[in-house]
Every structure is written in C-alpha cells, then in structure tokens.
Amino acid sequence: MKTLYLIRHSKSDWSDGSLNDFDRGLNKRGKKAIHTMAKVLKAKKIMPGLILSSSAKRARLTAKGLAKEIGYTGEITFTDTLYMAEPETILKYINDINDKYDTLFVVGHNPEITELSNMLINEYIDNVPTLGIVAVKLPIDHWRKFSMGEGKLKFFIYPKMFKE
C-alpha cells in the first residue's frame, strides 16, 4: 500500500512585479500556513519517505518549510518536471519513484494538483487552495503500477480549516 500526498505550494508573494512567475517567493500568510499545516501533519503522525517538489521558488520554499517543521531529514528532490506540467506528466514522473518509499509528498501548482487529485480519486475536488493537501491511499506495492481512478481519498485539508 502506498500513500501519495498532493500538496499545492503555499501562498505566493506578488509584491515584486519585476519577478517572473518561477521566481516568486512566499508572502507572510504563506509562511504562516506552513507552520499551521506542519502542525496538522505532525498531529496525524505523517512523515514522508520522499519529498518531490517543483523547482519554482514558492514550491521549493514550501517543501523545505514543511520538511523542517515536521522534522523530516530525508531527501527532497526538486525538478522542473513538476512546474507547469500536465497531470499525466506528473503521474509518469511518480511512476519512476523507487518502491522503497511508501509515502510520497508531491509539492506542485494549480491547476495541475487539483486535476491530478480528481484523476486519481472517485470524488470531486473543486479546487485545492494554496497549501491544500490531498492524501490519497493507493492499493499498490509499486509506484509504476498506479494509475488513474484507483486511489481512495484519505483526507483533504487546507490552512483555512485550522485557526491559530
């Protein structure tokens, strides 16, 4: 059994109009949300075996922030493949993950995170907001064997659900 956590990056900073999309960081609310969601993940005793992240700055900062806050000391793989990628491309990338990892965090962007979530589960999610986490249980032993529609929604959470 594998578990996939599809995570949209935290709230990005639009204050510097000279930055291109790839180089935008996180705003104050986005940084606070990392703390909030890490607390929830720790309470649920969730620890990834591996973290994959888009190499865009806001996704990198989200992945690193969550990792630090939950005490994750393993590998974080940053890749351009997860930036502006079609859900099928993300799926192919996940298919190549080493099977020693049973729990995988994928930090990416919308609309891809929402679209991939809806392709994997038989429930509909209208929108995964910033730092939303969709946890999907997969009835597989090998990442290369997972495909569309076979996942079961474990939970769907996002920062506004939790007041600090």
CB neighbours of 47 closer than 8 A, spacing ≥ 6?
70, 71, 72, 103
The reported pTM is 0.95
More confident residue, 39 or 146: 39
Q: How many domains does the chain have?
A: 1
| Residue 57 belongs to domain with CATH number | 3.40.50.1240
Range of the domain at 153: 2-13+21-161
- Distance between CA atoms of 129 and 140, rounded to whole angstroms? 28
pLDDT for res 164: 56
Per residue in 15-73, pLDDT (tens digit) is 777 778 788 889 899 999 999 999 999 999 999 999 999 999 999 999 999 999 999 99
